[in-house]
Structure 1
Amino acid sequence: MNRTIRVVGLGAAGALIGGTLVATAPTASADDVNTAPVRKITGATTSPFGLAKVGGRTYVANFGQNNVVVYATGANGAAMPIRTMNSGLNSPRGVDVDTNGFTYVANNNGLVSVFAPDADTGDAPVKTFGTGAGAALGLDIGPTGSIFVRKATTINVYSPAAAGNPASTTRQITGLPAGNGVHVAASGTTWADAGAALRAYASNANGGATPLRTISGAKTELAAPIVGIGTDSKGRVYASNFNAVSTVVAFSASAENNVAPLKVLGGPATQLSSPGHLSVAGDGGLTVANFGGPSVLEFRTLFPKPAPVVKVPGKPRALKVAGKQRAKTRKVSWKAPANNGGARITGYRLVVKKGNRVLLRKNFGASKRSYKIKRSKLRNGKNVVLIKAKNTKGFGKNARKSFRVRK
């Protein structure tokens, strides 16, 4: 099915581009996820493009407002930011926070602004450094503290001490097709968009390095321009298709070449519209700068853990019958099963039998571990006690113990 979509995109030079295109809707499949966000922040967000989520707080670079706003953990709806950084920013596109709480902002004029951890409205950046001609299109701080800045066709890597205009790079990955995004995984692998493709580079890649692998082709459902890139704790790779179908696609950790994504997040319920940069939690939960919304959308993981398979519990352990054969009472005791079947034990059933005849049947709560039986309830000779545990699935097998009674 073809559909005509009116789009507004961001060119590599930063100009707003209006146009009409024909996009092909993705083929419906079991992997398509059309689900509503669990949170939607509108507040002071009117042109969200860059995004980072650090310590539960959400940092949003508003391209048209020339600011970065910070929302508290759990912010939702028309929430007001707890801080706003707006001094000297120029159509900011990317934002991230280092381990010391300093906020780095990639600007359309090619400068990177660095703000103190408590910076608020009107506070000047503690420093600014240049990245050379052209816009700084995206920014990510790697696991070792290096600052990765996406330029149109390169990724510039800077030390935390970077200064000057332009600042000296520690290395530079060159030869990329025009793109917007950069992301450094916990492993150090550097991801970049390359037209309608994703490229992964080694942690020490420099110059015109050959990518470790490339995800590209019609099956991938990637569509230029791609903006946001992220990875989760399983190494799965996520990318946002900024224009056209407005989706977020997720690939396996080993995805390569022309391979279909594991999941495609998109459709009316998602409210995705020109999604920009994104943040991926360890479990795959997504926070997306929804430029065309305008809003910040937060989604539950696309890869929820399957519900545990519950089985009946194992046999209770250490079943004993204390007391002499002529005792007036006999104490039965036991321990919980070694295997609860995947669900908590909710109770026990005790049965005493003489041959095939049931002498006593009692049900107990989960905390019960012993019971005294009067001799009058028993029969002379060999008696048998059986005890079994119960969970939400039902009763497990009986533990069995014989004992003798003399009257």
Structure 2
Amino acid sequence: MYLKYLSKALVDAGHEVDVISGQPYPHLDERVRLIKMPGMNLYENGLGSLRPHHLSSLTNIIEWTGKLTGSFSEPYCFGRRVVKYLKKHGRDYDVIHDNQCLSYGMLQLQKLGFPFVTTIHHPITSDLKIALKDAKNWYERLLIRRWHGFINMQREVARQLHHVVTVSECSRQDIAKAFGIQPSAISLVYCGIETNEFVPLADVKKIPQRLMATVSADQPLKGMSYLLDAMASLRPDYPNLELLVVGKTQPGGVTEQQLQRLGLVDAVRFVSGISTEEMVRYYNEAEVAVVPSVYEGFGLPAGEAMACGTALVSTNGGALPEVFGDAALQVPVRDSAALAAQIRRLLDDAELRKTLEQAGRERMETEFCWAKAAGEMEQFYRRVLKLGERNEAATELVADAAVSPREVLV
């Protein structure tokens, strides 16, 4: 979503943008060129997809053996492929912007002298801590730690990058703490919401007692279990209460087991692979949108719901309060009772819903539209390019004066 809407907003501002991506490929504006950088896609194709021709590539071998041993080697391998491509084509670009790959290849591009920027949305150490907290046994914790082994690479790379930007003040502080970087070395450009697509629809009526959430259901980070517990406590008083979830469950996973245990199978519906137009309609049909996340580096679902004019109940996980401000009802993380109480409050108070619907839309239009975000990112790019010009001038002085670049720049 970040790639899609940032690239679109930059094109709207008059820039030419290419996106280099591995699988799954993003859906981009038609004016943005997608350069596909396919890997082996083993989490979709499985280890048995290895073929003799794959063995001609060291990167493929690294990716396959990584999956075999339970690691997530895609960021590292993607970085290798991108470096190979940009060594040939990178001089065509004024700026190269890494969207949290944070692989060793990104350091190589920086060392090659490309004007280089990295967005870190939030430190994956947060995901790891939450996943370990929810693990059932030592073996599951072992697998989780193994899969998250790439964090060591990300930490090492992040410390050496010259131009890092993040999407919220909360993320800036968390990244600084997790990766050992001074907060002042991390710039802030908030994400945006596509307020021309996520809009209130005058011809769509609210469905009474319809809740909506956009979550990856089986990821502990997203807090789905707490929302389901809240649903179960509300159902006796609201027998028609239903929840539409934009996301997937794993067959036989923890969410499906919880639905069975709570008797909510008929009250919760999951949809995935939908268009933006369908998403907008679903938001408009819901009386209340809910974000139950334990942590968010920004919180696009919160912003999208508000842009659609839907009253919001959200946790205070991570950066979410920065997004919703005073235009939503706030609850603590991991608190099903508080979620239920605030959902009840909105279901019972049409005037409060209307107030939050209007306040949410206004906040997204004025504070978080993508045009504003892209303008701030463009300014950041220009500062990076200007600094690069200064560094080149300093290098010329070094050659003439026989002093170190540090001394010249100081």
Q: TM-score, normalised by structure 2?
A: 0.24
The structure with more radius of gyration: 1
Q: Which has the higher contact order (CA 8 A, sep 6+)?
A: 2
Structure in which a larger fraction of residues adopt strand: 1
